[in-house]
Amino acid sequence: MNDNLLKKEIPPLAEGEMDERTKKAIDLFKRIVIRASEKNWKYVVLSGFAVDAYLGYISRNHKDVDFIIDRDNVGDAKIFLEKEGHLVCKSKAHGEDDLLRIDPIDAETTRAAHCDIHISFFDDKTKEVVIPMHGKEIRFAGDYNDISIEKEFLGVKAKVLLPNLLIEEKKGWVEKIGLAWREGREEKNALEVKKIQRIINFLDKK
């Protein structure tokens, strides 16, 4: 399998089809990654942007970009983004100490934001990176460097979640955190897991 075959299986987003939400998410992705690199924040890119980083191109429109940023660095991230003119809100639905929403369309409920920053931490006892939400947790074995790899994507070098952990993440939101109530969540996650698995298979054959 080569890169062209992978592009046939998972084609790039067609020219002119990128929506405004994706453009804003890309802008936040770049701003946060550049600042995180400059300040040595402990962070990792999750979900759809991480998947596309392995492809090397945007494969679909994204409603947002997802990060984990360690709680020791998240205060600096909030100050930076506010100084850059972004609206930073604590999540009212998913735990105010667990999630920051950047540039929500609806500031009253903080839903439909262009970036979600999950406030994570490293558990020294178990040696795991922990993502808390709703009093529950997703855990990844290892530190921030262990669970990520640096990929050049959209003109920046970003630390993205390892492919096998992307599958754990997708399943974890439903199985460990309990977000299955969202309409179509399980179906969307299943499709994304298949996509990630195709990427893993491709990487294994390189």
Determine, yes or no, domain membership for 81: yes
Determine, yes or no, domain membership for 151: yes
Q: What is the pLDDT of residue 180?
A: 63
Determine, yes or no, domain membership for 194: no
Q: What is the pLDDT of residue 56?
A: 93
Give the domain extent around 81.
Answer: 15-162
Determine, yes or no, domain membership for 69: yes
Is pTM beyond 0.85 here? yes
Determine, yes or no, domain membership for 114: yes
Determine, yes or no, domain membership for 192: no
What percent of the chain shows pLDDT beyond 70? 91
As for how many domains the chain has, the answer is: 1
**Residues 132-186 pLDDT 10s:** 998 899 999 999 999 999 999 999 999 999 999 999 998 888 888 777 655 556 6
**Residues 129-140 pLDDT 10s:** 999 998 899 999
Report the CATH number at residue 31.
3.30.460.40
Residues 24-47 have a mean pLDDT of: 97
Determine, yes or no, domain membership for 206: no
Residue 30, token pair as written in the block: 């770049």
What percent of the chain shows pLDDT beyond 90? 67
Q: What is the pLDDT of residue 1?
A: 44
Determine, yes or no, domain membership for 137: yes
Q: What is the pLDDT of residue 104?
A: 92
* 47-74 residues labelled b (16+ CB within 10 A) or e (exposed): bbbbbbbbbeebbbebebbbbbbbeebb
Task: Give, for 50, the enclosing helix (H) or strand (E).
Answer: helix 47-55
